[in-house]
Amino acid sequence: MKRLLSLVLVGLLCVSILGTVGIAAEKKGKLTIWAWDPNFNIPVMAEAKARYQKLNPKVEIEIVEMAKADVEQRLNTVLASGAREGLPDIVLIEDYNAQKYLQAYPGAFVDLTKAINFKEFAAYKTELMTLNRKIYGVPFDSGVSALFYRRDILAEAGYKPEDLYNITWDQLIEIGKKVKAKTGKALLGFDPADGGLIRIMMQSTGEWYFDEQGNPKIVNNEAIREAFKIYKKLMDSGIIKQTSGWNEWVASFNNGDSAAVITGCWIIGSIKAEKSQSGLWGVAPTPRLNLKNSVNYSNLGGSSWYITARSRNRQVAEDFMKTTFAADRDFYQKILVGQGALGSYLPAQDGPAFTEPDPFFGGQKVFADLAAWMREIPPVNYGLFTYEADSALMAVMPDYIAGRIDLDTALQRAAVQLENQIAF
């Protein structure tokens, strides 16, 4: 009986893939989902759940919320133990880690190449979840980066919004110096221990810590060299407000101590949290590096959903993702307004929420701009060892910034450490 039922299900699935669905099969079963941010991807998933359950009332969905490090720890423990239980049906994975999971645990995630029309998603997102021409995830939020700035402070220093378009980091530093001189405010809250900006700079050139074969490319990586120089310039220029950790960094612009912030678009929620600054903010594209292949579009962070191969309700999980994240345009409007979640599903991006002017940003159509920039992000294969590389580079950064070692020594040291770290 069970076998018959699953045969029928598989049959139905084939039919639906061919696009000639006759009867809608009633979906049943329970889905467990792991995600991590109670103010971001959790409510987004809750919205998807509500929408899906309206159509499929018999599907039970449990969203389990935990810290991001905890999701990773559990996922690794369960996958490594080879246990058949203990995994969720759907799990959120940070984009930088995607290849690591896909390659370290072959067969652990469902190949969705045929199930989902990936042409409808931003190209750079599908690239990072592709392994051997198969695509394994459902792209979720974009971390398209931008220069978020305070209109009032920059105006006081004599800058118009246009002055911030199409600029390089060096030009930005010059702007920062003038801002500091005229207003006394720092340009950026900046954490020299955080390698996020290096990744923004690198991706703007289409480069990463590794070459196409996946070997480390550190010492002769122009993007990294430039990025290091800019870190030092930022520290030496006196235009930054040094911070440590998330809270201080957020406080630096919430308090109005700094005039701008350059990071992924997921920061919008935190910027808007300070309601007294409504109308004072604006958004411009990311500065680019002084390199030929660098563009004014990049990315920081972002994550995607993956279905585990051992899921007992794989078909339901696929159907759930397909009807929500890969089809529901209205859903994307809702989460954009509610959580500021900028999905990478392109057909949703001419919806009303994207095209509406945002009074907090002085009437700018922020999300329309960000969506347009998102399409221009150079695709990059993040490879297996993003965090190892980040750790190796940031370990030498303090010595480099303090001038104790020069650039070549610093990068050589980092390269040696990285080689050792990724040895197998």
Span 19-48, contacts to other proteins by CB under 8 A: 32, 36-40
Stretch that binds other proteins, among 145-153, 158-166, 171-179, 391-399 (CB under 8 A): 391-399
- At closest approach, how far in Å is the CB of 397 from other proteins? 7
Judged by CB under 8 A, the chain residues 49 through 88 that form the site for other proteins are 62-70, 72-74, 76-86, 88
Is residue 417 involved in binding other proteins (CB under 8 A)? yes
- At closest approach, how far in Å is the CB of 149 from other proteins? 18
Is residue 409 involved in binding other proteins (CB under 8 A)? no
* Residues 235, 191: Cα–Cα separation, whole Å: 10
DSSP class of 162:
G
Q: Checking DSSP bridges between strand 299-307 and strand 258-264, what pairing results, if any?
A: unpaired
Please select the residue that binds other proteins; options are 163, 356, 376, 399, rule is CB under 8 A.
Answer: 399
- DSSP assignment of 303-357 equals EEEEEBTT-TTHHHHHHHHHHTTTT-HHHHHHHHHHH---B-BGGGGGSHHHHS-
Is residue 127 involved in binding other proteins (CB under 8 A)? no
Please select the residue that binds other proteins; options are 53, 168, 171, 242, rule is CB under 8 A.
Answer: 242
Closest residue by Cα to residue 319 from 3, 78, 88, 17: 17
| Cα separation values, 90 from 41, 270, 311, 363, 389, Å | 13, 27, 8, 38, 28
Judged by CB under 8 A, the chain residues 181 through 200 that form the site for other proteins are 191-196, 199
Nearer to other proteins, 115 or 317 (CB): 317
Judged by CB under 8 A, the chain residues 275 through 334 that form the site for other proteins are 300-301
Closest residue by Cα to residue 283 from 265, 270, 301: 265
Q: Euclidean distance between the first and final Cα of the chain, in Å?
A: 47
Judged by CB under 8 A, the chain residues 355 through 384 that form the site for other proteins are 384
- At closest approach, how far in Å is the CB of 68 from other proteins? 7
- At closest approach, how far in Å is the CB of 338 from other proteins? 14
Residues constituting the chain: 424
Judged by CB under 8 A, the chain residues 249 through 268 that form the site for other proteins are 249-251, 254-255, 263, 266
Nearer to other proteins, 18 or 423 (CB): 423
Radius of gyration of the chain (CA): 23
Is residue 416 involved in binding other proteins (CB under 8 A)? yes
